[in-house]
Amino acid sequence: MKNVKLKLAVLGAFSVLSAQAFATGLVSLPTAGVAVAAGANQPAGTTGWELCNTTGNYGSGTYTAPTTGANNTCAVFPGGQRNLTTSPVSTIATAVNTKSTSTITANGETLGTLGQRTWRNAANTQCVFAKYIDFATTGTYDYNPQLPGSQRFEANDVALGGFSTTPTVSAGYYHTSTTDSPVFRVGRSFTSVQMQPELDALGNPTNNPFTGFVHRPINGPTVPAAGTEINGVGQTLSPSTIVPTAAQQTSEIRTNWVDFMLDNTGGVDEDGTTSQNTPVMYVQANCNGTVTNTASTIRIRQTGQETQPWVTILTTGQTRNLANANF
């Protein structure tokens, strides 16, 4: 994804969806999902997904950063950058703990640094969980050996677990700097859904998804099996040439999980330059005012937006007490 903070030329991207461009704040993700009508690259049905930043074609093109006035669905602006000093929700503002950082490793190398913090409300019934990842820029492990040279891991989705006791969670993000990706969509789902762009005559990505790829995956009628990390056509040596089936673009609502779609790598991905860091990702959910560290509740996924193979990396996340990583 080409990261240019204020590239006005792409304001028309996803123009059919532009009605969602002006609504700051965390968005609600109810367990029942919401109805979505049929349209371009969109089947009718019930979806657990909401669109956030609708510029940049989910990371294949140049995005426009959110501001308080535009392109800001799901976005919040609490200040403090990556210090995590302030909750994005004024009524859930008591820090449960100090900010923590830890190293994410994969294939014997440092993949990145995870930052986390949690806030609670006065009644100890609601928490806001904050997480970000700064991806490492060095390493020799090749995440796409089909291409010459050595390619760094490209994160297209980060799924966060531990929210099954909350009928409705709210989620959003804080774009802290030009090195961040925005969140393109967020869903109450365990399974990430692959996205590939339509290409122009010269082979460059346009501002539209390729035929069959959908904006908001629906909850059926055929859904992936429980525990399916990624749904789509798989690795394609010639991207945007294989049309997915309807079933390959579904994502069942899974109440224990919230999936953030973004575009990050510590290197240079196949569509040009990219964003090294995730934004700060937030989930507001029920809690008892205490937190614990729960294994495998952060799942970082490379979903093959270009020619990359599917990869999932698991790490431990800060969750409510007694949470789990069940599908």
| Cα–Cα distance list, 135 to 165, 203, 266, 267, 306 (Å) | 31, 28, 5, 9, 19
pLDDT at 315: 98
pLDDT digits (tens, 9 = 90+) for 178-216: 999 999 999 999 999 999 999 999 988 899 999 999 999
Res. 270 pLDDT band, cuts 50 70 90: confident
Among 151, 251, 254, CA closest to 195: 251
Query: Does 254 have pLDDT greater than 70?
Result: yes
Half-sphere exposure of 253 (CA within 13 A, CB side): 21
Average pLDDT of the chain?
92
Range 61-100 burial, b when 16+ CB lie within 10 A, else e:
bbbbbbeeeebbbbbbebeeebebebbbbeebeeebeeee
pLDDT digits (tens, 9 = 90+) for 210-234: 999 999 999 999 999 999 999 999 9
Would you give the DSSP letter of residue 18?
Answer: G
208, 200 contact by CB (below 8 A): no
Query: Does 320 have pLDDT greater than 90?
Result: yes
Question: What is the pTM (predicted TM-score) of this model?
Answer: 0.94
pLDDT at 10: 33
Dihedrals φ, ψ of 93, to 5°?
A: -130, 5
At 59, is the secondary structure helix, strand, or coil? helix
pLDDT digits (tens, 9 = 90+) for 65-119: 999 999 999 999 999 999 999 999 999 999 999 999 999 999 999 999 999 999 9
Would you give the DSSP letter of residue 224?
Answer: P
Res. 5 pLDDT band, cuts 50 70 90: very low
pLDDT at 155: 98
At 249, is the secondary structure helix, strand, or coil? helix
pLDDT at 17: 42
pLDDT digits (tens, 9 = 90+) for 13-69: 343 343 344 569 999 999 999 999 999 999 999 999 999 999 999 999 999 999 999
pLDDT at 18: 37
